Each structure stands twice: as structure tokens, then as C-alpha cells.
Amino acid sequence: MADVKLGECHQCYMNRIPNEVLSRIIVLHVQSELLQLPSYKRDLKYQSHTYTTLRLACKRWDETILSTPRLWSWLRMRFNDPLANRESLIIPPEALHNWVTRSGGSSLSIHFDISFVQPSYPDHEDPYIYITKVLDILWSSIDRWNNVAFLLQSQEDIALFAHRSFQGAVRLKDLQFRGSIKHRGPDSPNLSPQVASLFQQLSSIQLASLNLDAANSVICRSLIQCIPVSRLTRLKLVLGAGILLSEGLQICRNCTSLTWLDLESCLASGQQTSATKPIMFPELRILQLSSTCPDTDPNLSLPIIHSPKLEVLSMISDVDDPESTGRLLSEVSRFSPRWAMSC
């Protein structure tokens, strides 16, 4: 075990962590929100057990982070940190190339978090040029991708990926898509041809998990049309954050192989309608229901859920109505006899 104090340089971090600990750390999460960390998190202790997470709060990227003894298999690309200075967000392409090369045949988990709100790039280089370089490097390892997440804010952002092929992503099982991408215009609620072409490529990927967190209805429709959702075993869906209630429920009805379902409702009371037709999930074992709107009653927006193999039920709601919650629980317990409530 090693005590690591936030604020030391990267090399000090690595020198103070025993090799036996480094050999078991499977996640490297580099962040730069040093000012946001509360005092009780200033001192971190890392135990030498499997699934240990190493979280480094850094002021700038350098070769040290990507040249540690451990072959890191997780990387989150962050391009929009509002607290960081310019240097902190610029990962040297050469260092990234070395990281991809050294990681051998291990699976990679990559998050594309792209937004151009902050002036976070060198004065001499356009941000799109820099990100294109980064994507070129990462795409060279596409055959080892296991988990990919997109957080995009515009069709221009996703167009960065439009000319790239996903056909080599033979290991990709988990796709996350977040971002409220606007329509092309009030009279043209369609995606650009480039973006539509990108989504079409996803039809050949054997996805097991899909996360549509806060994606708008145009994005959801396009993705669902391309992805055979009947094969999905995990699904996260936000109702009311751009996707219509009827569309969201229809997606759920088509996901007949789900074992894990996370439904979040952002529907205000005026937007809710009663859903009466039951949904059958023959293999569902984990069900998470949540509401982020203070005046939302999840019972009005969710139908009866039949899941005879349900084992875990998690409910988070701002609705302070024991009678309403009791009705939902009684229906779930009636058709899902094996469940445990997690609050």
C-alpha cells in the first residue's frame, strides 16, 4: 500500500507506488480537477488487489503518464476541461502512439469526450487537426476496442468519425452515446449524410450493451434503426431527454434479450401518459428505475414490467408518494417474484 498525495509530479506518483500494486491496477484515470477535490480526498491509499483504480490529479500531460510499467488498457480522451490550462489537455500524439503500441493485444476502453467550448489547444494548431491526429492513432487499434463511449455536442463533432470504418471493431461489445445533437434545421430533422453513414456501419457490430444517455430523438431513431437491439443484453435509456415516451417503450419491447435495464424518466407531469400494455423481459435480472424531474410520477410513464427472473430492483425517485410507489412495487413483485430493493 502506498500513500499518494495529490499535487506531486507524475514521476513521484509512480516512484512511490510499489510495483506489486502497479501490476494489479487495471484502470488509469487521469484528471486535472485538483481544485475540485475535497480535503478528505487529498490523501489516497491504493490496495494491491484486483480492480484497483489509480486516479491521478494532474496539471499537465507528459510522457510519464503513458510510459509507466503497467500496460494501461483504459483511456479517457478529454478535450474540454474548464479548469485546466492549455497544456493539461494536449496529449502528445507520440506518447499516445507509444501507449497504443505497448498495450499489446489487450482490449481497450476509449471514451471520446469532445467539445470545443474551451480554448484548450495550442495557438498554432487547429483543434480539429489535433483531434484528427489522435483519432488516427486510436483507429490503428480498432481491432482491440472493447468499450467505446461518445460524448458529442454537434453533428460537426461526430462528423470527425464519419469517414472512419468500424468494420474492424471485432471485439466491440459496449457502445455508449451521449450528447444532444441538434437537427440540421427546423424543416430538416435528419442527420447529415456523413453521420447517417456512420450509424449504418454499426449494424455489423455484435453489440451487447447500448447506452443512450441524453441523446435526442433523431440520434436515437437513427441508432435503433441500425443496431439489432434484440441482441442487446444491457440497455440504458433516458425518457424525455429528447426521445419520446412511445419511442422509448417501443425500443424496450424489442430488446427481448436484456438482462440489465436502466430507465430514467425526465418527463414532467404534463408530458406523461399512462402506459398500459405490459412489457415482457424473460431474462431480465437487474432493473433500475429513476426520475430526475421533481413532479414526475414514474408509475405514469412506465408500463407493467414482466420479468420472472428479476433479482435486483433499484428505484430512485423525487416523488414523495408512498401509495404511488407501493403500486409500482406490487406490480413488479407480482410478475417478478425474485427481486431485492436497492434504495
Could you write out the three-class secondary structure of 104-141?
CCCCEEEEEECCCCCCCCCCCCCHHHHHHHHHHHHHCC
Residue 142 in this model has a pLDDT that exceeds 80: yes
Averaged pLDDT, 215-228: 68
What pLDDT score does 332 carry? 53
Strand partners, 55: 29
pLDDT digit string (tens) for 246-273? 777 778 888 889 998 887 776 554 444 5
Strands 305-306, 279-280: pairing is parallel
Closest CA to 44 of 59, 64, 29: 29
CA distance linking residue 19 with residue 315, whole number of Å? 41
Q: What DSSP line would sit under 65-115, residue for residue?
A: HHTSSS---EEEEE---SSS-TGGG---HHHHHHHHHHTTT--EEEEEE--
What pLDDT score does 69 carry? 35
What pLDDT score does 155 carry? 61
What's the DSSP call for residue 58?
-
Which phi-psi region, left, alpha or beta, contains residue 300 (left: φ > 0; alpha: ψ -120 to 50)?
alpha
Residue with cell 447517417: 196
CA distance linking residue 148 with residue 303, whole number of Å? 31
Residues 43, 49, 50, 56, Cα dihedral to 10°: 20
pLDDT band at 89 (very low <50, low <70, confident <90, very high): very low
CA distance linking residue 85 with residue 88, whole number of Å? 6
* Rounded percentage of the chain residues whose pLDDT exceeds 70: 32
What pLDDT score does 216 carry? 58
Averaged pLDDT, 223-237: 80
- φ/ψ (deg, to 5) at 109: -115, 120
Residue with cell 498554432: 124
Residue 55 in this model has a pLDDT that exceeds 60: no
What pLDDT score does 61 carry? 38
Residue 4 in this model has a pLDDT that exceeds 50: no
What pLDDT score does 47 carry? 29
What pLDDT score does 187 carry? 40
What pLDDT score does 240 carry? 63
Averaged pLDDT, 95-121: 59
Residue 77 in this model has a pLDDT that exceeds 50: no
Strands 2-5, 43-46: pairing is antiparallel
Q: What is the mean pLDDT of the chain?
A: 59
Mean pLDDT lowest among 96-105, 228-237, 256-265:
96-105
Does the reported pTM lie above 0.95? Answer: no
CA distance linking residue 204 with residue 142, whole number of Å? 14
- The residue that leads in pLDDT, 258 or 69, is 258
Averaged pLDDT, 182-194: 53
pLDDT band at 18 (very low <50, low <70, confident <90, very high): low
Which phi-psi region, left, alpha or beta, contains residue 242 (left: φ > 0; alpha: ψ -120 to 50)?
left
* Rounded percentage of the chain residues whose pLDDT exceeds 90: 0
pLDDT digit string (tens) for 266-311? 655 444 455 557 788 889 888 887 765 544 444 445 566 778 888 7
pLDDT digit string (tens) for 155-180? 666 667 767 777 788 888 777 766 55
pLDDT band at 66 (very low <50, low <70, confident <90, very high): very low
